[in-house]
Amino acid sequence: MSTCARFILVAFLCPLLAPVFAHAGVTHEVRAGDTLAKIASEYVPLAASYTRQEFVDEIKKVNGIDENDLSIGRVITIPVVRSEPVKPATVKRSRSFEAKGAYANQFTASSRQVLTMGEKLRKHGANTVVFDAKEVEGLPTYRSSVPREHLGLDSYYYPIEDVSKLVDYLHDRGVHVVARVCIFRDIHNSSKNARWRFDKEWVNPADRAVQDYNLAIIRELTSFGVDEIQVDYFRYPADRKASTGIEGKTRSDVLTAYAQRVHELTSSKGVLLSLDMFGIVIWQREDDVRVLGQDVMRLKDHFDVISPMLYPSHFSRNFSGIANPADQPYMFVSSGVKRMKALVGDQVIIRPWLQSFPLRVTIGYNPAYIKEQIRAAQASGAVGWLLWSPGNRYDEAYRAMESLAGKASVKAVRTSRTGQ
């Protein structure tokens, strides 16, 4: 390469590399109360490390120190690689995007396991990770300003250090990122806030403050670049009642009005909105709709995607005359998708949750069991599918996906951050 060519190459690369190398180290003067974990937490958004513990180990290595060496006033080097936190952009997709993926609980999402999971899904022909952003405990699973602003909480436990980095890393792997938010089942706020309490472990769906709290979390998540918000427990408890506490308002009235508010927010940000729904609600029995408030015919206008939870094991024994529904994976997924499509037509996308765990299965839980569900979803008109394993054990699922592809695993694909 000529000297001139080298000069041109360096001149081109320097602006690109500057954000990385110009901030390869900043200094931090140890203050009273500092720990390595606390220091790492302060700077981890600027680090290459994904988790706080990784960054703690990196700080130790760079400085040749351990926890006992943190004397007040000591200056240590913090090995950051950027001047400001990453700001991933939502990958805007049409609602007909065929999302195929799996659920990552908050602990998987807080570790590098979620990145490995994303790579494995891509390797086996899938493209989506659904991570817990707010579980039934009621508080965000990540560092958030919402609990302080809406609940007066100055601190709380959160395992996910940096959602923006999580989204950025998964986008780099070509993964569609879905933030799952549990709405009205809320253990923390139902026990700590008498005004919000509706029932044991449930807050009042009709309370404006409850609605605003969840809307604030959703708004914050859209600012982190997630591609889709998925709401779960968007219903009333199965308490065999129908009251809302508001004269003339049914439970369906309350949920439909709130769904409209949420969808107005997400659609304005270019973020898809999906709804998790009890599998049994698809049958739209009058008592179920009246109690739970999930009226499909009204909710369909305010969601891009509905994800019925068609786990065969979750249907009661002898449901529709089937002794053990868990042993009929194809039938329950197929009939569930067809029933839902008969209700909503093409007005909303149907993307079912499928069973990736062995509960009540007596015919053998194996890749064939999962394949039957995927085939049923595809043959019945679903657009994509999602796999649920509470403990995120997907070995059988990966083998099922590999088998469905009809060949050995394809190489993982790292795509650009454009729609697929």
CA dihedral 258, 262, 265, 271 (to 10 degrees): -160
Q: Does domain 100-405 have CATH number 3.20.20.80?
A: yes
Work out the burial of residue 138: count CB atoms within 10 Å of its CB; fewer than 13 is exposed, 13-18 middle, 19 or more buried.
buried
- What is the amino acid identity at position 287? D
- What is the amino acid identity at position 202? W
Q: Tell me the pLDDT band of 282, cut-offs 50, 70 and 90.
A: confident
- The token duo for 301 is 């206008």
Given this structure, which CATH class describes domain 18-78? alpha beta
Alpha helices (H) along 102-181: 106-109, 113-123, 146, 163-172
Percentage of the chain exceeding pLDDT 70: 91
- What is the amino acid identity at position 286? E
Alpha carbon of residue 316 to chain centroid = 28
Alpha helices (H) along 269-325: 286-292, 296-299
On whether the CB atoms of residues 357 and 390 are closer than 8 A, the answer is yes
CA distance linking residue 157 with residue 379, whole number of Å: 43
pLDDT single digits (tens) 170-210: 999 999 999 999 999 999 999 999 999 999 999 999 999 99
On whether the CB atoms of residues 350 and 308 are closer than 8 A, the answer is yes
Alpha carbon of residue 55 to chain centroid = 24
Query: CA of 199: how far to CAs of 215, 243, 249, 255, in Å?
Result: 21, 12, 18, 17
On whether the CB atoms of residues 261 and 292 are closer than 8 A, the answer is no
On whether the CB atoms of residues 72 and 326 are closer than 8 A, the answer is no
Structural domain boundaries in the chain? 18-78, 100-405
On whether the CB atoms of residues 221 and 133 are closer than 8 A, the answer is yes
pLDDT single digits (tens) 346-398: 899 999 999 999 999 999 999 999 999 999 999 999 999 999 999 999 999 99
pLDDT single digits (tens) 202-217: 999 999 999 999 999 9
pLDDT single digits (tens) 141-160: 999 999 999 999 999 999 99
